[in-house]
Amino acid sequence: MKITLIKTITGEKLIQELEETYGSLDRLERLQDRNPDNMKVYTDLDDWKYYQDHLDEIIEETKGIVTEKLTLGTLEMEMLNFIKYKKPESIRELARMIHKDVRSVQPKVRKLEKQGLIQFKEGPKRKLMP
């Protein structure tokens, strides 16, 4: 099964992610000087320099996943749809949206995270936001 994930962010958000990864633009430039053949560092540096002048530009990051072990049931597909379009603030809110118990939703959400289909970010009061 092949799945294509598309994440839409702004230039400002991309720079924040790069700052979390590398610390600063200077540090990334030093990494590039030490490893000129590292294409990830090269493209991250190029993106940082471009998007610091284009903070509001929309970026679509595409990630492809190919696996034969991926098993998605109806509930998992429904959860992915709700996460993408309704953007729940917590696992509990997601469970409410799909009219399921949190105890049945939480393991499935964790499974989706392990498979690389979603990521969690911390929300207020240390709750996880899918």
Residues 69-98 pLDDT 10s: 667 888 898 998 888 889 898 899 999 999
CA distance 41 to 9: 20
- C-alpha triplet 54, 43, 56: angle, nearest 5°: 15
Band (pLDDT 50/70/90 cuts) for residue 66 is confident
What are the extents of the domains in the chain? Answer: 2-66, 74-129
7 and 61 Cβ atoms separated by less than 8 Å:
yes
- Token pair recorded at residue 124: 């207020």
| 33 pLDDT tier (thresholds 50, 70, 90) | very high
Report, as an integer, the average pLDDT of 4-16.
88
Q: What is the mean pLDDT of residues 46-67?
A: 88
The answer to whether the predicted template modeling score (pTM) of the entire model surpasses 0.75 is: no
The total number of residues shown for the chain amounts to 130
Enter the CATH code of domain 74-129: 1.10.10.10
pLDDT at 126 over 70: no
DSSP result, 74-104: HHHHHHHHHHHHH--SSHHHHHHHTT--HHH
pLDDT at 129: 64
Distance CA 3, CA 59 (A): 19
**pLDDT above 90: residue 58:** yes
pLDDT (average), residues 2-31: 90
pLDDT value of position 11: 94
The average pLDDT across 117-128 equals: 74
